[in-house]
Amino acid sequence: MGKKVYEIKEDEQLFAEKVTGDCWKMPNTSINRQVSGKYYFTDKRIAFLASGLIGTESVSWEIEMKDIDHVKTCLTPPFFPFGILIKMKNGDKYKLSIFKRKKYFDWICEHMA
């Protein structure tokens, strides 16, 4: 089985792809630790494809921009200023960790529905 590839839909505008980062929090998993991978940002979605050999599909995810309730900056363990906390309208939370977070934080804020 090959690596999963993120595909851009015809009606989407790509902002950034293959952005290296970590995910520290995601819903519906018992994972509350650092998972490394790549982020993909379009005007309609944010996706995280975890990297590694085993179990990456269970910790990879995709969210719709229209479903984001609010977003704020935060710290990631132990005390690094790289975090972006996304809260969805259904209450789910995602904690992203990305270098140059201001660029992505501002972009997410501009594209929330």
Q: Among 56, 48, 64, which Cα is nearest to 16's?
A: 48
Confidence (pTM): 0.87
Q: Among 24, 40, 26, which Cα is nearest to 107's?
A: 40
The answer to the question of residue 84 being in a domain is yes
The answer to the question of residue 43 being in a domain is yes
Interval 31-89: pLDDT, tens: 567 889 999 999 999 999 998 766 677 788 999 999 999 999 999 988 999 999 999 99
Give the HSE-up count for residue 53: Cα atoms under 13 Å, Cβ half-sphere.
Answer: 0
The answer to the question of residue 97 being in a domain is yes
Give the separation between CA 63 and CA 46, rounded to whole angstroms: 5
Domain range for 97: 14-111
